[in-house]
Structure 1
Amino acid sequence: MTPEHAPDRPRFGVEEEFWVVDATTRHTVPRAGAVIRRAGPLLGDRVGGEITEMQVETRTRPCHTLDDLHDQLREARTLLAAAAAEEGLRIAGGGTPVLGPMIPSPITQGPRQDLGNATFRGLHHELGMNAVHVHVEVPERERALMVSNHLRPYLPTLIALTATSPYWDERDTGYASWRTLLWQRWPVAGPPPYFTSEAHYEELIASFEAAGAIVDVGTVFWDIRPSSRLPTLEVRVADMPITAEESALLAALVRALVVTVLPLVDAGDRGPVVSPETMRLAYWRAARDGLGGDGIDPRTGRPAPSATLARRLLETVRPALGGDAGRVAAWLDGLVEDGDGATRQRRARERQGGLAGVVDHVVAHTAPAVPQESTSQ
């Protein structure tokens, strides 16, 4: 039995969120419903809507291997792109839109959305954010919460690795992951607290509900959370990657982190205590400078190159990656050499002339090319 098929490697899966883009103007447009109707017969329950009418979500089924996960991601992107092309549209990855009016965001309709509008008010005006969510099978709630404690110090590095949101409202923010900063404004978002027990978690959720800070458990937007509908721990810190390979390799890295810390949890280790102030600083630095700058090591509070922190993470989880280690290491080497997603988008703007060139770059790398005649409708 190869390491990739070892029984102690839990199943994992991915949810990806995409922008719907007009093929001619390159503007992000509120036409997700048309794309979902086209893609539904092709993808079934693996495709659905999101909070705004500009976004489409796809999801994999639970996977044992990286190859299976990558294949499902590529298939979903290919079919979704074909469905979009039939409507004269494209799909695009990335954490924030590049072109098109964004404020107020066109929220989908329904009682839950109405309650969200009433609860979060102006925050719902700026919901143009896409992420990738990695689910790792950890069915026991308290065990999952202790894993969350151990994963907290690595969250800023995952932000730096996957930063793809430099643009907002048709301008360069100067940040690599502007989406990370946007999320911090929600009352229950960002890095999760340090949990002492399952009872502690339940007490916090009850207090949020009593304060009117959440609509339901689905609006607990922490960057790690126990899934409310699946027997998984959900890691949702990362900007939406541009390529399917990046999403798959991020998922492999996250699963390896979970596998690495589970024996510590089972031995009674609740994880390192990192102060909220240090986590906030590390988040800000990772979001601002991405992989090419200095980050903050949450364990020490001291600056260090983000690439160095990423290589330390890789070495920590290398045994748990098994046969996937070479692919993940090559991905990291490529990011260090070629730049994170934000850097590549800025380079596309310089080379291809303006923000339309950025959209073309992102669309071209999100899904396989679509025949030109399919976009002339």
Structure 2
Amino acid sequence: MHTDGHQPETTADAAVGRTVGVEEEFHLVDPDSLAMTPGPNASAAALAGEAGSFVHPEIATTQLETATGICTSLAEVRADLRAARAQAAAAADRDGLLLLPASTHPWDSWHTMPMSPGERYEAMVQRWAGLARQQDICGCHVHVGVPDLDTAVAVLDRTRPYVPVLLAMTGSSPFHDGVDTGYESWRTLWWTRFPHAGAPEPLGDADGYRRVLAGLVASGVVEDGSHLYWDVRPSARLPTLEFRLADVCTTLDDAVLHAALVRSLVRVLAARAVRGEPVPEVRPEHLRAARWRAARAGVTGRLFDPLRLELVDARDAVSALLAELEEDLTGAGEWDEVCALVQDLLGRGTSAVRQRRTWLRTGDRRAVADWVVREGAAGRT
């Protein structure tokens, strides 16, 4: 998401959620074998800014990243995502490769993943060693506009109970290193190995955030705020709150839905902060359990409510989220579209469900990769 950094001159509650942008990461695969394959020409073009305005390099030459522009409507989000995926596909074609929009590859892994050149990536390997070299996962990040850091932190502190259900709706990584992991989002478990991943404890305000960040910088685990791997974080370079919890969505509709839910949630939670409503009290142990359950079960099983401390049907958890967002989504003219997208998702299942279904039907992991490639390409037309 690109911006000149201008902060809107308006009240906090009016400016929150006015803009939204989405970043997506993709694996590159050979069109015949569908194996993960380096794209040196695509990566070089992305690094030089010559692969299109939406396309950026990633830590490995077997990956590409896209970022939409600053959007103010779901129609703009959809159009930019479609254009970004088309640009990334054209960049991949420089090496004769295709995009695989899933958070993990059905059988390949970091063992065959060359690192991208560039000072930032070299510094990441120097800092995190094997953790950086084994980052064979892709994600979907949503930026929502906020006017200042205090607002970002006020919303961040209130997002913690909602992370699990948002995660459950986006799973696309059931396989890793050639094994069915039994999870819908193995990426979540793999990502959690980083010492600065997950959800931070409530920060209170901008100064609280700065104190925590300063401690992490002093520890050597991060260089600055751009390296925080929290599920939700204030952007280090944009006037946004960035949600980083989701698997990359194979289906374009699911990416639009995730962006819509995240933006609405930010607006709702910001309004609660303005009204002085307290930050929900959630034990970190319970939140980790809820996050694990969402990664394991997706929307087909039962999720753990970290506030009520009980298991709930995933569909009921989704319905409860929609109920909290209904007034906001209706006011924004997005309710009908979001409801239709939710019903479609629940009816067909997440990407992880459909990948596993393909595997069980065919016993062929190449068929799984083929389905992901074709389903993702459908969103570009």
Alignment TM-score, normalising by the size of structure 1: 0.91
Aligned length: 366
Unaligned runs of 5+ in 2: 1-13
Letter in 2 for 1:63: C
Task: Work out whether residues 15 and 147 of structure 2, in 8 Å CA contact, stay in contact via their aligned partners in 1.
Answer: no
Query: 1:126: Cα distance to partner?
Result: 1.6
Question: For residues 194-232 of structure 1, what are the alpha-carbon distances to aligned partners after superposition, in whole Å with 9 as ceiling and x for unaligned?
Answer: 112211111111111111111332211001001011100
Aligned partners of 1:364, 1:302: CA distance in 2, in Å?
39
Correspondence for 2:371 among 338, 361, 364: 361
Which sits farther off after the overlay, 295-304 or 102-111? Answer: 102-111
Return closer, same or farther for 1:270/1:201 CA change in 2, 3 Å cut-off: farther
Return closer, same or farther for 1:368/1:337 CA change in 2, 3 Å cut-off: closer
Correspondence for 1:87 among 83, 95, 108: 95
Correspondence for 2:190 among 155, 170, 182: 182
Unaligned runs of 5+ in 1: 1-5, 371-377
What is the match of residue 374 of structure 1? none
What is the match of residue 349 of structure 2? 339
What is the match of residue 26 of structure 2? 18
Letter in 2 for 1:247: A
Return closer, same or farther for 1:203/1:162 CA change in 2, 3 Å cut-off: same
What is the match of residue 313 of structure 1? 321
Aligned partners of 1:243, 1:335: CA distance in 2, in Å?
10
Question: For residues 284-312 of structure 1, what are the alpha-carbon distances to aligned partners after superposition, in whole Å with 9 as ceiling and x for unaligned?
Answer: 11111111011111111211112211111
Query: 1:77: Cα distance to partner?
Result: 1.2
Task: Work out whether residues 21 and 92 of structure 1, in 8 Å CA contact, stay in contact via their aligned partners in 2.
Answer: yes
How much identity, in percent, do the aligned residues show?
37
Query: 1:114: Cα distance to partner?
Result: 2.7
- SS of aligned partner of 2:129: helix
Letter in 2 for 1:162: T
- After TM superposition, what 4+ stretches of structure 1 lie above 4 angstroms from structure 2? 6-9, 38-43
Aligned partners of 2:51, 2:128: CA distance in 1, in Å?
32
Return closer, same or farther for 1:87/1:103 CA change in 2, 3 Å cut-off: closer
Which structure 2 residues correspond to residues 1-377 of structure 1 after superposition, within 5 A? 9-31=17-39, 33-34=41-42, 37=45, 44-103=52-111, 105-322=113-330, 323-368=333-378
Letter in 2 for 1:18: F
Return closer, same or farther for 1:98/1:33 CA change in 2, 3 Å cut-off: farther
Task: Work out whether residues 16 and 58 of structure 1, in 8 Å CA contact, stay in contact via their aligned partners in 2.
Answer: yes
Question: For residues 138-193 of structure 1, what are the alpha-carbon distances to aligned partners after superposition, in whole Å with 9 as ceiling and x for unaligned?
Answer: 02101111101111110000111001100100111111100000111111111132
- SS of aligned partner of 1:17: strand
Aligned partners of 1:314, 1:332: CA distance in 2, in Å?
9
Question: For residues 5-50 of structure 1, what are the alpha-carbon distances to aligned partners after superposition, in whole Å with 9 as ceiling and x for unaligned?
Answer: x987511110111111110111111215426638988863321101
Letter in 2 for 1:79: Q
Aligned partners of 1:104, 1:270: CA distance in 2, in Å?
48
Task: Work out whether residues 213 and 224 of structure 2, in 8 Å CA contact, stay in contact via their aligned partners in 1.
Answer: no
Which sits farther off after the overlay, 186-195 or 15-24? Answer: 186-195
- SS of aligned partner of 2:334: helix
Which sits farther off after the overlay, 251-260 or 32-41? Answer: 32-41
Question: For residues 307-334 of structure 1, what are the alpha-carbon distances to aligned partners after superposition, in whole Å with 9 as ceiling and x for unaligned?
Answer: 2111110111012112221221122222
Aligned partners of 2:94, 2:125: CA distance in 1, in Å?
32
Alignment TM-score, normalising by the size of structure 2: 0.90
Query: 1:260: Cα distance to partner?
Result: 1.1
Query: 1:338: Cα distance to partner?
Result: 1.5
Which sits farther off after the overlay, 129-138 or 103-112? Answer: 103-112
Aligned partners of 1:256, 1:273: CA distance in 2, in Å?
21
